[in-house]
Amino acid sequence: MIRGKFITLEGGEGVGKTTNLTFIRDYLQEHNIPVVVTREPGGTVLAEKIRHLLLDKDSEIISEQAELLLIFAARAQHIKHVIEPALAQGEWVLCDRFTDATYAYQGGGRNMRISTIEWLENLVQGNLRPDLTVLLDAPVEIGIERARERGSFDRFELEKISFFEHVRRAYLLQAELHPERIKLIRANRPLVDVQSALIDVIRTLLR
């Protein structure tokens, strides 16, 4: 059986990931591609419980090291029980955030050592890497304003603007380091233009 493709969607707050994740899913299904849609942190019962701990703004203060380890613990469960089985069955996996988010939020936002993240990435993922990563990018002020329109903020969304500036820079650095995998799409354009760019990127995998 032909192994499926692994697509991840990345970006800071308010860049339109949810809307465009649905768009990509529908586009793939229109082309008769079986697709599993999932998210990080999360994707399994245990990983979703970890997600709740990470996003709960009313819980005890989580140390940076604990945050990083919890994220990779959730990722280990996610890979073993959702991502790898689906790919092995020939299904495509479409994931809302993956390890690039860890480099951005914990590496950039929290200023944690990149070497530590790399070590955990290799330990937990082995050779697994996305076939394609779509990075939706918009100025932080625009993203935060959009996020505010959604309502209450979680623990990460309550961070200062400077935190999200660091996150954005880290994401853009990842795109520079991995241009063959990460495709940058400017998300502060009309939705029709963003989705046209998405189709162009997805077609590269369909070929």
* CB burial string 144-175: b at 16+ within 10 A, e below: bebbeeeeeeebbbebeeebbbbbbebbbebb
Q: Is 148 a residue whose pLDDT tops 70?
A: no
pLDDT of the residue at 55: 85
Proportion of the chain above pLDDT 90, given as a percent: 80
| Contact present, 43 and 82 (Cβ < 8 Å) | yes
Determine the Cα–Cα distance for residues 138 and 186; give it in Å rounded to an integer: 6
What angle do the packed helices 140-148 and 161-177 form, to 10 degrees? 120
Determine the Cα–Cα distance for residues 147 and 157; give it in Å rounded to an integer: 8
**CATH class as words, domain 6-206:** alpha beta
Tens of pLDDT, residues 54-71: 988 777 888 999 999 999
Q: Both tokens of residue 47?
A: 């990983």
Tens of pLDDT, residues 91-128: 999 999 999 999 999 999 999 999 999 999 999 999 99
pTM score, whole prediction: 0.93
pLDDT of the residue at 157: 65
Q: Is 158 a residue whose pLDDT tops 70?
A: no
> How far is Cα of residue 39 from the mean position of the Cα atoms in its chain?
7
The domain ranges of the chain are 6-206
First to last CA, the chain: 18
50 Ramachandran zone, left/alpha/beta (phi>0; psi -120 to 50): alpha
φ and ψ at residue 142, rounded to 5 degrees = -65, -45
